[in-house]
A and B are shown apart, each in its own frame.
Chain A
Amino acid sequence: EVQLVQSGAEVKKPGESLRISCKGSGYSFTSYWIGWVRQMPGKGLEWMGVMYPGDSYTRYSPSFQGQVTISVDRSISTAYLQWSSLKASDTAMYYCARQRDGYNYRYFDLWGRGTLVTVSS
C-alpha cells in the first residue's frame, strides 16, 4: 500500500528539541519530493518546506527558514522535521505529503495522517 506513516503525538515544554518523522512505503521514496505542512489549531494549511529525498535538496518557506530543519534518511525511507528549541506557538498539527511534479503542475497527492505537537509549560 502506498502510504506515508507519521510518528505519534508529542507533548513538549518550551525550549525542548523535537524531531518528528514521516516514513514512505509502497513507492520509490527517493523519486518524489516530500513537503511539510503546518495546521495550527482551528486554522488553515501553511507550507513549511520541501525536500527531494533523492539528493536531500531542501527548500524552506521564508516563514519557516531558520525555525525548523528538514532532513531525510534514505536507508529507511523516512523524512524528518525538527526543532532545536520549541515555542508555545509551535503547537500545531504537522502533515507530511508527497509532491507530484511536472511541467506547470505541482500538487500533494498523498498525505500522512499528521503529527500533533503540543508545546506547553
Chain B
Amino acid sequence: QSVLTQPPSASGTPGQRVTISCSGSSSNIGSNTVNWYQQLPGTAPKLLIYTNNQRPSGVPDRFSGSKSGTSASLAISGLQSEDEADYYCATWDDSLNGPVFGGGTKLTVL
C-alpha cells in the first residue's frame, strides 16, 4: 500500500490529452513539493517534473504538472506512442522524514 495514491492505469489515443492524479495527505503533498518520474519499459526512472511544475532540460513541454492542496496531477498533451510508460508521483513525507512514491500509473497509448 503506497502512501500516495495513483490510478493503476490510464490510456489515450495519439494526440489526446491525458491526466494522471496523485493523492496524498497533509504530511506529504500538503506541505511539500511534488515530483514526477517516468519509467520507460526496462529502464531506470527518469525525472519528468520537479517542484510541482518544473521540467528538467530536455523534457518536452507536452508534460506539465500541478498541485492543489493534498493532490497533484500530471498532464500529457499531444500523446505520443513513446509516452507509453509507468509514471510515479513522489514527494517528501514529514512523518517518515523521507521521500514517498505513488504506486505508479501504467500509461497505454492505444
CB distance from B55 to the nearest CB of A (A): 12
Find B51's partner among A49, A50, A105, A108 (CB 8 Å cutoff): A105
A12 to B56, CA, bound (A): 38
Is residue A19 within 8 Å, beta carbon to beta carbon, of the partner chain? no
Known A107-B35, A107-B51; judge A47-B98 contact (CB<8 A). Answer: yes
A62 to B35, CA, bound (A): 22
Q: What are the residues of chain A within 8 A of B99 when measuring CB–CB? A: 35, 47, 106, 108
The dominant DSSP class at the A interface is: strand
Query: Of residues 6 to 56 in B, which have CB atoms within 8 Å of A's CB atoms?
Result: 32-33, 35, 37, 43-47, 50-51, 56
A109 to B56, CA, bound (A): 9
A67 to B10, CA, bound (A): 35
Whether the Cβ atoms of A45 and B104 lie closer than 8 Å is yes
Is residue A52 within 8 Å, beta carbon to beta carbon, of the partner chain? no
Is residue A17 within 8 Å, beta carbon to beta carbon, of the partner chain? no
Q: What are the residues of chain B within 8 A of A108 when measuring CB–CB? A: 35, 37, 45, 47, 90, 99
Is residue B92 within 8 Å, beta carbon to beta carbon, of the partner chain? yes
Query: Of residues 15 to 54 in A, which have CB atoms within 8 Å of B's CB atoms?
Result: 35, 37, 44-47, 49-50
Chain A residues near B (Cβ < 8 Å):
35, 37, 44-47, 49-50, 59, 61-62, 95, 97, 100, 104-114
